[in-house]
Structure 1
Amino acid sequence: MHFSTSHQFKAKVEIMFVWFFWSLLTLPEATGTNAGVNVKLTQKGLEYGRQIGIASIQQKLRTIHVPDISGTERVDPIGKVQYSFTGMQIVNLGLPQSSLGLVPGTGVSLSIDNAFISLHGNWRVKYLRIIKDSGSFDLAVSELSISTTIAVMSDDTGRPSVSMTNCAATVGRVSIKFHGGASWLYNLFSSFINKALRDALQKQICPLVADSIADMNPHLKTLNVLARVDKYAEIEYSMVASPAISSTSIDLGLKGEFYNIGQHKEPPFSPTPFSLPSEDTSMLYIGVSAFTANSAGFVYHSAGALSLNITDDMIPSGSPLRLNTGTFGVFIPQIAKMYPGLMMQLLVKTEKEPILTFESNNVTVQASSTVTAYAIQPNSTLSPLFVLNLGGSVSARVYVTELKLAGAVTLNEIYMSLAKSYVGPFQVTSLDNIFKMILKVTVIPKVNARLEEGYPLPAIGKMQLVNTQLQVLKDYLLIGTDVQFKG
């Protein structure tokens, strides 16, 4: 089964830069718990992050402020020469070559080569006490290189934070073209401004790169570590271990477990370890295990949310089968005799949590419930008629919509047995067709309406999934997607 979507957004550079660090979050210590959700960030994803990150750093470097430079030098045979270089502004800056690398088991390295900066400024000199001269100059810095290492850690909320651990910036060549003034002064200026500019640039570059990396942290804090689903449930996406960093991808495990709101009670089953395939056609792969889906069933069952009162007004008006003692009296005559002409009500509720199974291209759900039938007396009191044990299976279709995993189910078959009768013995098999119809027109639509609302996937900020595909594999769902950020 596949679902694809294509949304195009113009993204802010600062927001987009953070996305490839989303998969680097880690907690201070691994818990040893198996993951319910696995995530793989591929080389394609890292390349996207590199492009956006370089754009962010380039914007930050454009804010470099080159201070005015002044001083006095003795020049034979003139004597003392007072000089100043003022108003230096960056007019062009480029980072044409860069690479983002994974250091297995360690972190992320970023290198920039053959960068260039062009500046324009003014010069002024005074010598022989009374002679003044001035003009402008253009300065080109080339063969500029920057290398840095980015560390990832966890803040006190379990969300990721990033920082620069080391940085080196090297200015290669500096060339100057002067305009105006006496030409004999130019060689004098060249040596002064060359050294001064190197020092000024090399002092500012690494702090600005560090600022650019630190700017990601407010966006990383938007990670939905605990995502509210509805009034019953929330899902936790905290890390269960440190990320596994290889030379080609970043793999990490998220808890991926549903809980009742405010009550983090563990279910009577645990995640089964699973690994994502080595695919790399998408930026990001998310594997959602059957454990995650089944923890949802456990939560909703525990909350009593998997129950439904069915009344006649929920059955289509055109149906010949009505929820009254007359209809059921055809199959169970004693009902019509004991409770003639009364409307009925059915209470369907789960006896234990439903179990979802993922097989190749197939999702099935096994559910065990009871159905209690009541006759509604004229004074609205309920008289119990019988209790049935109801089992069955449904097929499910799952898909991704925006940042949610959604689905729909269809009823395959049901199995019934009599648990208790208040009207005497009867043949349960005679009710197969009527109950299958009732479930199809009442219970299944309610279930599908909730499934259509979807359940949140792990996300940062205004992240959007693009070109998304979903596959049902053995024991988990595999979502392959590209990523964009809404500005």
Structure 2
Amino acid sequence: MAIPIFSDGIPVRIIFGVFLWSRNSGRRKTKLLIIQLMKTMKLYIICVVFIVSLAEAKNPGLKTRITDAGLTYASQVAIEQLSKSAKGQKIPDQSGRSGDVSYELSNVVIDSFSNPSSSITVTADGLNWKSDGLGLSITGHFHYKYHGIIPISDSGNIDVSVSRVNFNVGISLGVDGTGRPKIASSGCSCGIGSLDVHFHGGAAWIYNLFKGVVEDALKKQLNGQLCTIIDKAVNTDASQALAKLKVTVDIAKMFMLDYRFISKPAFNPGHFLETYHKGEVYWTDSMTEAPFDPPSMPSISSTNKMFYISMSDYVFNSLAYEAQIHKMLQYNLTQKDLPAKERGFLNTTCVGTPCIGQVIPQIGKKYPNREVAMSMSSDFSPNMSVSNGKVNVLGGGTINMFTVQGDTFLLTLNATMTASVLLNVKSEKIYGSISDMKLKLHVVKSNVGQISDTVLNFIANTAIIAFAEPQLNKLGSNGIPLPVTNNVHFVNTEVTLVKDTLMIGTDLKYQ
């Protein structure tokens, strides 16, 4: 039985029940019931919001996965970058006193950095970067004063050897308000196994009076300095690199491919992290959503490569949709658009070579010595589908044929197009080319009598496909950039086609 509803959404029978209870049971019971009713309505609203949020959730159009192998390589690159960042770093000047000796250390600089073992692993809520066996050599200048019976003052240089240094730092990954990734360090800790100071110049017996104090001071300072360097490597250097990550890409100066994150990364501890992206193409001047949703993409089962990209056919179909609604899939085909050897085909009169006036004699007799043009337009946005290891495209439209001189209507054709697409990845771009393109034509209206299917197929292959296929291949040769930073390059790349998805598995090289 239907429950009557007020305009504000509260069931009539519930309100009526409250009224009766209030009359028969007094104010206290009424108050308790109203409180219970409010709790019930609050729960009802929460449930509605939850259901709506589930309904609005969309699949990503593109997702990426960084595997354990990729993170291992990333840790190697990170250590190399940390080494470059650490060399030349100045440690703050030190001063102190030990007994009768006061000292000053100045111009203390990290001179060399020996790469340690390093690893980046996935945790439940981010990444963990740890390293062990790091070594440093440090140089500097010292000055001391001995405040004994006979005051002595001298200066010289120091060499510091540091070994068995380790550090551990947490790395959180998220998404900012613009859909860009963000990164931050947390909980950095460092440890120094041994530190040995060697003095050059002055009296050795005096050095021994404050050698231990200097070593302790440098250890303490280095602990803080190393975490400062590591935090900078994450919070500044890595953040700046991520800030350069392309989250929108221009296509043909008319379209924009949206790579923005739609949610926070997902972490599978000890194995991989995944990121989820919009993966939709928009018209540059109008962010209109496509009237269809991305399909669910299969899970990535392989972990042999460092990096995986899953791109659904939604990316290409949203591009086709935008091209359709902005009337980009319309064209008037004339002689100048055909390859040189076929340009004469659109003449109504010809000698020695085939032309449309010869193939359709009615046109040649009725309209001699003229050129024919074809006004082509798509009736619906082409659809690309990936299945059984193949990429197929289906399109359809209308072709109106008319004479250029006099603008005389000849006939209207209905066209259905099917084609296979070959996809490959090179230089961090996806490239496509058309193969096995087929057109099926059907006469809708004719001003020149009946035309056989054989003639229509000849027209399709000689004129339309001869024009359309090179044009589509030219567009495909421009490539679509993939979401990586400029200094990361793909090596040993493999492309796999699974249901609704182009899956790219690749190793990486940082340059």
Residue equivalent to 2:63: 38
Q: In the alignment, is the contact (CA less than 8 A) between 1:232 and 1:300 conserved in 2?
A: no
Within 1, Cα distance between the matches of 2:360 and 2:478?
Answer: 39
For 1:433-456, what per-residue CA distance to the aligned partner results, in whole angstroms no more than 9, with x for missing partners?
222221232121111111111222
Shift of 1:169: 1.6
Q: In the alignment, is the contact (CA less than 8 A) between 2:173 and 2:182 conserved in 1?
A: yes
Residue equivalent to 1:397: 422
Shift of 1:227: 0.7
After TM superposition, the structure 1 = structure 2 runs for residues 130-149 of structure 1, keeping only pairs within 5 Å, are: 130-132=150-152, 134=154, 136-149=157-170
Which of 265, 281, 295 is the matching residue for 1:272?
Answer: 295
Q: In the alignment, is the contact (CA less than 8 A) between 2:97 and 2:210 conserved in 1?
A: no
Shift of 1:180: 5.4
Which of 299, 314, 323 is the matching residue for 1:291?
Answer: 314
Which of 98, 104, 126 is the matching residue for 1:107?
Answer: 126
- Residues 410, 98 of structure 1: CA spacing in aligned structure 2 closer, same or farther, 3 A cutoff? closer
Asked if residue 192 in structure 1 is aligned to residue 220 in structure 2, the reply is no
Shift of 1:184: 4.1
Letter of the structure 1 residue corresponding to residue 394 of structure 2: Q
Higher relative contact order (CA 8 A, sep 6+): 1
Residue equivalent to 1:10: none
Letter of the structure 2 residue corresponding to residue 272 of structure 1: P
Within 2, Cα distance between the matches of 1:471 and 1:398?
Answer: 10
Letter of the structure 1 residue corresponding to residue 148 of structure 2: L
Asked if residue 66 in structure 1 is aligned to residue 91 in structure 2, the reply is yes
Residue equivalent to 1:360: 388
Residue equivalent to 1:20: none
Shift of 1:52: 1.0
Letter of the structure 1 residue corresponding to residue 238 of structure 2: M
For 1:3-28, what per-residue CA distance to the aligned partner results, in whole angstroms no more than 9, with x for missing partners?
xxxxxxxxxxxxxxxxxxxxxxxxxx
SS of corresponding position for 1:46: helix
Residue equivalent to 1:344: 372
Residues 248-257 or 423-432, more deviating: 423-432
Residues 360-369 or 462-471, more deviating: 462-471
Residues 310-319 or 259-268, more deviating: 310-319
Q: In the alignment, is the contact (CA less than 8 A) between 1:285 and 1:480 conserved in 2?
A: yes
Shift of 1:390: 0.5
Shift of 1:123: 4.8
Which of 290, 305, 308 is the matching residue for 1:282?
Answer: 305
Structure 2 runs not aligned, ≥5 long: 1-52, 350-354
Asked if residue 442 in structure 1 is aligned to residue 442 in structure 2, the reply is no
- Residues 392, 107 of structure 1: CA spacing in aligned structure 2 closer, same or farther, 3 A cutoff? same
SS of corresponding position for 1:35: coil
Residues 276-285 or 235-244, more deviating: 276-285
Within 2, Cα distance between the matches of 1:342 and 1:84?
Answer: 98
> By percentage of residues, which structure has more helix?
2
Shift of 1:64: 4.0
For 1:295-326, what per-residue CA distance to the aligned partner results, in whole angstroms no more than 9, with x for missing partners?
11112122222222222233445449621334
Q: In the alignment, is the contact (CA less than 8 A) between 2:422 and 2:434 conserved in 1?
A: yes
Shift of 1:253: 1.8
For 1:244-289, what per-residue CA distance to the aligned partner results, in whole angstroms no more than 9, with x for missing partners?
1112111122111111112122223211111343223322111221
Which of 224, 229, 233 is the matching residue for 2:246?
Answer: 224
Asked if residue 430 in structure 1 is aligned to residue 450 in structure 2, the reply is no
Q: RMSD value over aligned CA atoms? A: 2.6
Which of 223, 228, 231 is the matching residue for 1:210?
Answer: 231
Return the TM-score normalized by structure 1.
0.84
- Residues 125, 452 of structure 1: CA spacing in aligned structure 2 closer, same or farther, 3 A cutoff? same
Q: In the alignment, is the contact (CA less than 8 A) between 2:297 and 2:499 conserved in 1?
A: no
Which of 322, 326, 345 is the matching residue for 2:345?
Answer: 322
Within 2, Cα distance between the matches of 1:68 and 1:267?
Answer: 61
Q: In the alignment, is the contact (CA less than 8 A) between 2:71 and 2:119 conserved in 1?
A: no
Shift of 1:428: 4.8
Residue equivalent to 1:96: 116
Percent identical among aligned pairs is: 27
Residue equivalent to 1:48: 73
Return the TM-score normalized by structure 2.
0.81
Letter of the structure 2 residue corresponding to residue 190 of structure 1: K
